[in-house]
Amino acid sequence: MTDVVLVAGAGGVGKTTLAAGIAVSAATSGRRTLVLTVDPARRLATALGLKRLSNVAHPNPDLEELWAAMLDAGASWEAIARRHAPPEVADRLVASRFFDAIARQFPAGAAYAAAEEMAEQVESGSWDLVVIDTPPSSGGIDFLSAPGQMRSLVGGRALKMLTGGRLPGRKSFFDHATKPALRLMDKVLGGGLLQDVGEFLFDLRHTYDGIEKRSKSIATHFEHAHMVLVTTTDPSPMAEVERFVAERPGNTRVPVIVFNRTLPQEWIGATTTETNRRLVENLARWSQESAHQDAVRSTWRSRHDRLTMVEVPWRSETPNEIEALGSLAEPIWARLGIGD
Amino acid sequence: MSDRLQIVTGKGGVGRSAVTAAIALDAARSGRRVLASAMTDSIGLASHFGLETLGYEPTRIEPNLHAMVVDRAQSLDEYLKMQLGLGKRIPLLPLSRSLEALSETVPGIRDVVTTGKLYHEVRSGNWDLVVADGPPTGQIMSYLRASRVIASLVVSGKAREQADAMTNLLAAPGSSLVMVTLAEELPVTETLEALGELADEELIALRTIFVNRTVEALGVSESVLDDVDDVAVREAGQMHRALYENQKHWRGELPEHVALPLLFGEHDPTAVADRLASAMSS
């Protein structure tokens, strides 16, 4: 049985670093662990034994049982098309001038591609644990809704919107394209573009059955996954975590909330007999920041007293060595209680 | 040549909206008529002006300063109908909804249409400066390229006209890009990548690189610091020192830039924008 850890959080909160750290902790405890990462900084990628842009699992040179792979959304989309559409349709899709745009721009696409990769890896039976550093999604950090959004994309949402509600047949769509509303779109877009888009979207529908089936197994993995939500005390990542907690489907596990970059509480209101003016002022500055963090966390705690909260200390420099990553994330790993 | 349009970009979490608001406040307080505009989500920018959201028509924030959001379904509908010469009351399948459907498949179509609204404001003569809270650094190049991509896909029609107008607006003297970053590895790397592509493609001029949340040197030597008895004083000092050194390293990777301060303990969005605006004017 493979355990799954989903690490989610807004951009810039240190999610990728902590996902790597959790994987290091797991591998250190002897579990064969894969971390699927999205866009690691170069030094982190190096520490993980990753070469840039490789979605093949690489063993770590320094830590046995630790493997890492990087998700490449573009390559994954081609794999998705080839997995779920008949070969000649997949060829047409991949060659289309619209394919690249969908691969790079559809907001939930990278998250869905990651979810498929997660499912493939979990079902391979090769791992005790798979840690996923979730890519950004349209609903902010809402990784869980990606399969649904993907189904609605390939299921013809755009076609329905273009014709006003019902999914049209191929023939009726192109008949429709001569009607006033779509003629107006043609006026905006220039002749012919709408026809080409329509052809592409009908081809894309061929992937629907496959993606629907895959979504079901992905949903099962999500239900069993341990969830880690990373935030700082800044308002915008906090808002994303609030939303995630409020909208979490009832059949998924209660997430562990990680407050990253926590300053020492001992600094708050600390008095000192130190005489160096610069050092005293410096403590006062950092003490203010620490007090602010503390107030934000207290408010959170009073509103979500049933959620597990982990505080990860602030580091002036992002840790990039295996050992430092592991010790940073150790308290999170301990709270997950995997294998206890 | 004075500024007419500044598009602000920065990786998520670096304070892009705060810097956008601060640029607008600073310019307005020096006597220019300024419009601050959110491109997509208006919540971030609105909070720095003490509001919950922004409307799709410019609303007054303070003397010389108005703010709006360009990408809202209603504004797009009205804008498109106006562009097509249709009456506002004509009951039609909402054009913005069709556009939304297409924007997943046709790269840049939405960017081009929303920039059309911005273009309209720049040309209106109502403003000395329009400051846009733009897309994140990872998407800025595809945003800036959008009009050329559309021009290659679409040979005629309104979208083509808009695309050409956008290309010209971005390239015009007075239009520029402002980049916001932190002195950390990932944001600096992204900024450098975007700068490289920007230099190659000449889509828009670079105005300023702001490095947000910087700290000044502690001003106490390492040997003095290590001998301090008080643990909190010593550790706060050591942390500040390490942070300063790390920031100095990453700032060294960047070309000429303007440093904005880390505001210790200050997180109220309007106060943050105010203090950054003061930092810009000094």
* Per-residue pLDDT tens digits for B202-222: 899 999 999 999 999 999 999
Chain A within 8 Å of B217 (Cβ-Cβ)? no
Q: Is A311 helix (H, G, I), strand (E, B) or coil?
A: strand
Please give the pLDDT value at position A312: 96
- Provide the β-strand partners of residue B261: B214
pLDDT digits (tens, 9 = 90+) for A237-272: 888 899 889 988 888 999 999 999 999 999 998 888
Please give the pLDDT value at position A286: 96
Question: Smallest CA–CA separation between B31 and chain A, in Å?
Answer: 31
Yes or no, beta carbons of A289 and B265 under 8 Å apart: yes
Please give the pLDDT value at position B119: 83
Answer for the pair B145, B203: CB distance below 8 angstroms, yes or no.
Answer: yes
Please give the pLDDT value at position B162: 79
Of residues A295 and B157, the one with the higher pLDDT is: A295
**Mean pLDDT of all residues in chain B?**
88
Question: Smallest CA–CA separation between B28 and chain A, in Å?
Answer: 26
Interface test with B, best of A138, A167, A188, A275 (most B CBs within 10 A): A188
pLDDT for residue A139 is more than 60: no
Of residues B50 and B143, the one with the higher pLDDT is: B50
Question: Smallest CA–CA separation between A338 and chain B, in Å?
Answer: 31
- The mean pLDDT value for A271-276 works out to 89
Residues 36-55 of chain B with CB under 8 A from chain A are 44, 47
Give the chain A residue whose CA is nearest to the CA of B82.
A188
pLDDT for residue A170 is more than 90: no
pLDDT for residue A177 is more than 60: no
Please give the pLDDT value at position B101: 72
Percent of residues, chain A, with pLDDT higher than 90? 47
A3-80+108-142+217-336: CATH, from 3.40.190.10, 3.40.50.300, 3.90.170.10, 3.30.70.2190: 3.40.50.300
pLDDT digits (tens, 9 = 90+) for B166-195: 899 999 999 999 999 999 988 999 999 999
Please give the pLDDT value at position A66: 96
Yes or no, beta carbons of B98 and A161 under 8 Å apart: yes
Location of structure tokens 């002036």: A316
Please give the pLDDT value at position B229: 93
Task: Tell me which CATH homologous superfamily contains domain B5-214+257-281.
Answer: P-loop containing nucleotide triphosphate hydrolases (3.40.50.300)
Location of structure tokens 């010389």: B64
Please give the pLDDT value at position A53: 59
Yes or no, beta carbons of A193 and B154 under 8 Å apart: yes
Q: At what angle do helices B109-123 and B73-84 cross, to 10 degrees?
A: 70
User: What ranges do the domains of chain A cover?
Assistant: 3-80+108-142+217-336
Local structure of residue A136 (DSSP, 8 states):
P
Location of structure tokens 């307005």: B28
Q: How far apart are CA B37 and CA B39, in angstroms?
A: 6
pLDDT digits (tens, 9 = 90+) for B5-40: 999 999 888 999 999 999 999 999 999 999 999 987
- The mean pLDDT value for B44-57 works out to 91
Question: Smallest CA–CA separation between B68 and chain A, in Å?
Answer: 20
pLDDT for residue A140 is more than 60: no
pLDDT for residue B265 is more than 60: yes
Please give the pLDDT value at position B91: 55
Tokens of A266: 């001992």
Query: Lowest mean pLDDT: which of A194-208, A323-337, B243-257?
Result: A194-208
Cα distance between the two ends of chain B? 22
Question: Smallest CA–CA separation between B78 and chain A, in Å?
Answer: 14
Highest mean pLDDT of the ranges A190-199, B75-84, B94-103: A190-199
pLDDT for residue A126 is more than 80: yes
pTM of the model: 0.87
Alpha helices in chain A (DSSP H): 15-28, 42-47, 73-84, 87-95, 99-105, 109-123, 146-154, 157-163, 170-176, 180-189, 193-204, 208-224, 235-247, 277-303, 322-336
Query: Lowest mean pLDDT: which of A6-20, A312-326, B82-96?
Result: B82-96
- The mean pLDDT value for B229-250 works out to 94
pLDDT for residue B157 is more than 80: no
- The mean pLDDT value for A94-110 works out to 80
Please give the pLDDT value at position B108: 74
Label residue B181 left, alpha or beta by phi (over 0 means left) and psi (-120 to 50 means alpha).
beta
pLDDT for residue B79 is more than 70: no
pLDDT for residue A231 is more than 70: yes
pLDDT for residue A182 is more than 70: no
Tokens of B119: 């273009």
Nearest Cβ partner of A181 from B92, B109, B155? B92
pLDDT for residue B223 is more than 80: yes
pLDDT for residue A165 is more than 60: yes
Question: What residues of chain B lie within 8 A of the CB of A314, using their CB?
Answer: 239
Yes or no, beta carbons of B95 and A287 under 8 Å apart: no
Chain A within 8 Å of B233 (Cβ-Cβ)? yes
Q: How distant, in Å, are the alpha carbons of A177, A232, B27 from that of B17?
A: 41, 18, 15
Yes or no, beta carbons of B269 and A13 under 8 Å apart: no
Please give the pLDDT value at position A265: 93
**Cβ burial B179-217 (10 Å sphere, 16+ → b, else e):** bbbbbbbbbbbbbeebbeebeeeebbeebbbbbbbbbee
Query: Lowest mean pLDDT: which of A93-107, A239-253, B135-149?
Result: A93-107
